[in-house]
């Protein structure tokens, strides 16, 4: 597997990115605050308005470093990258499968199998770690439901059925999610998932982590030459990265939900890092954002044995490994897509 | 009759070395447009940057050196660039100009014939373009700093022809040949993308899925 390189997250909206030789330099009010050789990076993600010199952008294109521009709340605006990798034959195959209900359903069920299996493991791990503190029965029931739904998905259901199972499972999963929050109860609770805008601190935290994850899956798909915008589970909608959202499903519980829980339960984030606006929507402060990004970067460096490739890789390479397996399946190297299942 | 390829059907000559090494490596680069730079390829690129100056020509004694010479062969269906061509004028001007072709390589001589094949393909291009015959050329290796003479004999020429035909055949199909896991993979800059392990993984997906699902059935 290839090396995990760093993604630089630039959160200070005053930052200006420049090039100096083969280095990236971050300046704030004309003072240099950060410098790194460009070959340590595989991506740059910037939040909020900021400038970058054309020379830097040129170097990023040449070295294959993707530069993503996000709004301060984490909504994706644009990504700059060089000539697309991969070829038109691979993308055509992707489009052909996406046009076929049957093929789409097959792939969609794989992504959802991965997601539900991993949701189940998140719940089970939590029950064994916190046994007495959580309401076992309720959580256990959802675990069983996840298992049943995985079996239903393996019986080749239609695309509508897959979407139905996914929706039902997600609702049930989040209905017991509150049990997994064992600390800071008044400030952090889960009463269902909401996102436009997030209406409580937990949803704000999850939304932010999902936006980091989406950036990674989109970049991974682009790297292997797939079109992140044409999905199988997610229907086409202009501006929506359907395939990136598809691929992201299996990572949500493992990479984002668990991290959100541990940030809360270890009191690394606290209620005063969030602001509820008059409309009810919740915004995260820059300080919390920094804590979350640091934890995310650390998490990405941890190693895991990939269940299908049976090879030790950093967690941060999981989206790439799965994108690669998907591309290899579309090219006919393997006769199916093996979702990432955490055991 | 000898087949002549149309301009639109020409393929990059540089691919012949990849094809000679591994058909899948060639397909990943030339069919799937995947290319990963590693230390070796970056060094190779740097070496070429020095050799590749099309506006540079020098004459030392009777030898004139020209660089980055565009090449094409309609019979092989390949186009590319020669690093260096040396023109040597005979002292008495009676026998005309003698051409030799030199290809620069970063490392050292290889166990396989991919460098020879590439050089010979370039020679065939030059022969066709100038209507001359070349008996030999040179490979210059950066690590040993030595030139190695390569004879363009019949067996090498046949090998080049066969590789070029195979390249066009594979390109027309647009398929990537399956991975072959062997010792070549160790030195391949594309092994991360190729995932040679998949050579044996074909039937594993079913097994993998049933182990995941099997566990759920036991609930």
DSSP, residue by residue, A169-209: HHHHHHHHHGGG--S-TTT---SS---SS--SHHHHHHHHH
Relative to beta strand A31-37, strand A23-28 is antiparallel
Tokens 């915008």, residue located: A229
B22 Cβ contact partners less than 8 Å away, ≥ 6 residues apart: B180, B184, B188
Mean pLDDT of the region B30-53 = 61
Give the model's pLDDT for residue A222: 86
Structure tokens at B120: 């010979």
Contact A154 B174 (CB under 8 A): no
pLDDT band at A339 (very low <50, low <70, confident <90, very high): very high
Interface predicted TM-score (ipTM): 0.77
**Chain B interface, Cβ < 8 Å to A:** 31-37, 174-176, 178-179, 192-193, 195, 197-198, 201-206, 208-209, 212-213, 216-217, 219
pLDDT band at A86 (very low <50, low <70, confident <90, very high): low
Least Cα separation, residue A310 to chain B (angstroms): 10
pLDDT at A80: 84
Chain A residue numbers with beta carbons less than 8 Å from the beta carbon of B208 are: 307-308, 338
Q: pLDDT-based confidence at B50, cuts 50/70/90?
A: low
Cβ pair A87:B205 closer than 8 A: no
| pLDDT above 60 (res B38) | no
Which residues contact residue B125 at a Cβ distance below 8 angstroms, ignoring those fewer than 6 apart? B13, B71, B72, B73, B76, B78, B79, B80, B82
Alpha-carbon separation of residue A32 from A17, A18, A43, A157, B115 (angstroms): 10, 10, 20, 56, 47
Averaged pLDDT, A221-233: 89
pLDDT attached to residue A127: 83
Residue B52 has pLDDT above 70, yes or no: no
The pLDDT value recorded for residue B74 is 94
Question: What pLDDT is stored for residue B195 in this prediction?
Answer: 80
pLDDT at A15 exceeding the cut of 90: no
Distance (Å) from the C-alpha of residue B97 to the closest C-alpha of chain A?
41
The minimal CB distance from B176 to the residues A331, A335, A337 is found for A331
CA distance B170 to chain A (A): 13
Instruction: Please check the confidence at residue A343 and state whether its pLDDT lies above 80.
Output: yes
- A326-336 average pLDDT score: 87
Mutate to test the interface with B, among A37, A123, A154, A326 (most CBs of B within 10 A): A154
**In this predicted structure, what is the pLDDT of residue A301?**
87
Read out DSSP for B106-154?
SS---SSSHHHHHHHHHHHHHHHHHT----EEEEEETTTTEEEEEE--H
Q: What is the pLDDT of residues B110-162, one digit of tens each?
A: 888 899 999 999 999 999 999 999 999 999 998 888 899 999 999 999 999 99
User: Which stretches does DSSP call E strand in A86-177?
Assistant: none
In this structure, are strands A6-10 and A41-47 parallel, antiparallel, or unpaired?
Answer: parallel
CA angle A246, A250, A253 (to 5 degrees): 125
**Which residues of chain B lie closer than 8 angstroms to A90, CB-CB?**
32
Q: Tens digits of per-residue pLDDT, B163-205?
A: 999 999 999 988 788 888 888 888 788 887 788 877 666 658 8
User: What pLDDT sits at residue B41?
Assistant: 55
Does pLDDT of A224 surpass 70?
A: yes
- Chain B environment of A2 (Cβ under 8 Å): 36, 192
Higher pLDDT, A104 or B48: A104
CA distance A27 to chain B (A): 29
Place of tokens 């020209």: B66
Residue pLDDT, tens place only, A23-40: 999 998 889 988 999 888
B198 in Cβ contact with A334 (< 8 Å): yes
Among all residues of chain A, which has the CA nearest to that of B200?
A: A334
pLDDT tens-digit profile of A144-200?
999 999 999 998 889 999 999 999 999 999 999 988 888 888 888 888 888 788 888
* pLDDT, mean of residues A188-213: 86
Chain B residue at shortest CA distance from A306: B208
Q: Residue A169: what pLDDT?
A: 94
| Angle made by CA atoms A274, A280, A286, in degrees to the nearest 5 | 25
What mean pLDDT is predicted for residues A275-300? 86
| Chain A, nearest residue to B171 by Cα | A89
- Mean pLDDT, chain A, whole residue set: 87
Q: Which residues touch A312 (CB under 8 Å, ≥6 apart)?
A: A303, A304, A305, A306
> What average pLDDT does range A10-17 have in this prediction?
84
Is residue A140 predicted with pLDDT exceeding 90?
no
Which pLDDT score, from 0 to 100, does residue B191 have? 80
Q: Which residue in A169, A227, A314, A334 has the most chain B C-beta atoms within 10 A of its own C-beta, making it the best mutation to test that interface?
A: A334
Q: What is the pLDDT of residues B83-108, one digit of tens each?
A: 889 998 776 666 678 889 999 888 88
Instruction: Count CB-CB contacts under 10 A for residue A98.
Output: 19
pLDDT of residue B135: 93
Alpha helical stretches, state H, A178-317:
201-224, 242-248, 258-265, 286-301
């Amino acid at each position: 597997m290839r090396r995990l390189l760093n993604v630089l997250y630039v959160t200070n909206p005053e930052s200006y990115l420049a090039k100096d030789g083969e280095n990236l330099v971050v300046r704030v009010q004309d003072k240099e605050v950060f410098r790194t050789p460009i070959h340590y990076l595989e991506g740059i993600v910037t939040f909020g308005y900021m400038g970058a010199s054309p020379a830097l952008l040129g170097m990023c294109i040449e070295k294959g470093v993707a530069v993503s521009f996000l709004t301060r709340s984490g909504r994706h605006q644009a990504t700059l990258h060089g000539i697309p990798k991969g070829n038109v034959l691979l993308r055509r195959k992707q489009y052909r499968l996406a046009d076929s209900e049957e093929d789409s359903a097959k792939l969609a069920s794989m992504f959802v199998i991965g997601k539900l299996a991993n949701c189940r493991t998140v719940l089970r791990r939590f029950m064994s770690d916190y046994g007495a503190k959580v309401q076992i029965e309720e959580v256990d029931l959802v675990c069983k439901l996840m298992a049943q739904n995985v079996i239903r998905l393996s019986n080749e259901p239609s695309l509508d059925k897959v979407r139905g199972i996914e929706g039902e499972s997600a609702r049930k999963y989040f209905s017991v999610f509150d049990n997994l929050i064992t600390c800071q109860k008044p400030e952090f609770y889960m009463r269902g998932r909401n996102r436009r805008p997030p209406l409580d601190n937990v949803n704000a935290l999850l939304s932010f982590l999902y936006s980091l994850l989406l950036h990674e899956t989109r970049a991974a798909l682009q790297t292997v030459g797939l079109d992140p915008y044409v999905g199988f589970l997610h229907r086409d909608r202009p501006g929506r990265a359907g395939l990136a959202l598809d691929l992201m499903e299996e990572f949500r519980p493992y990479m984002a939900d668990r991290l959100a829980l541990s940030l809360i339960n270890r009191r690394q984030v606290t209620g005063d890092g969030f602001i509820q606006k008059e409309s009810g929507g919740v915004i995260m402060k820059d300080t919390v954002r920094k804590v979350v990004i640091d934890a995310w970067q650390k998490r990405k460096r941890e190693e895991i044995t990939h269940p299908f490739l049976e090879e030790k890789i950093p967690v941060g390479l999981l989206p790439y490994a799965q994108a690669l397996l998907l591309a290899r399946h579309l090219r006919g190297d393997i006769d199916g897509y093996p979702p990432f299942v955490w055991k | 009759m000898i087949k002549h390829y149309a301009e639109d059907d020409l393929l990059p000559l540089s691919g012949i070395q990849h094809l000679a090494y591994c058909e899948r490596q060639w397909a990943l680069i030339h069919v799937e447009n995947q290319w990963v730079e590693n230390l070796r390829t970056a060094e190779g690129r740097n070496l070429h940057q020095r050799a590749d100056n099309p506006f540079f020509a020098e004459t030392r004694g009777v030898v004139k050196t020209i660089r980055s010479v565009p090449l094409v062969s309609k019979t092989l269906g390949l186009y590319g660039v020669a690093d260096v061509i040396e023109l040597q004028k005979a002292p008495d001007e009676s026998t005309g100009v003698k051409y030799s072709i030199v290809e620069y390589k970063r490392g050292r001589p290889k166990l396989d014939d991919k460098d020879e094949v590439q050089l010979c393909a370039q020679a065939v291009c030059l022969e066709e373009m100038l209507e001359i015959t070349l008996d030999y050329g040179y490979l210059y290796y950066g690590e040993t700093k030595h030139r190695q003479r390569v004879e363009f004999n019949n067996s090498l020429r046949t090998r080049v022809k066969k590789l070029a035909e195979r390249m066009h055949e594979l390109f027309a199909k647009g398929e990537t040949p399956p991975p072959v896991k062997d010792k070549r993979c160790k030195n391949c800059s594309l092994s991360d993308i190729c995932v040679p392990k998949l050579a044996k993984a074909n039937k594993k997906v079913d097994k993998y899925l049933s182990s995941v699902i099997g566990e759920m059935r036991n609930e």
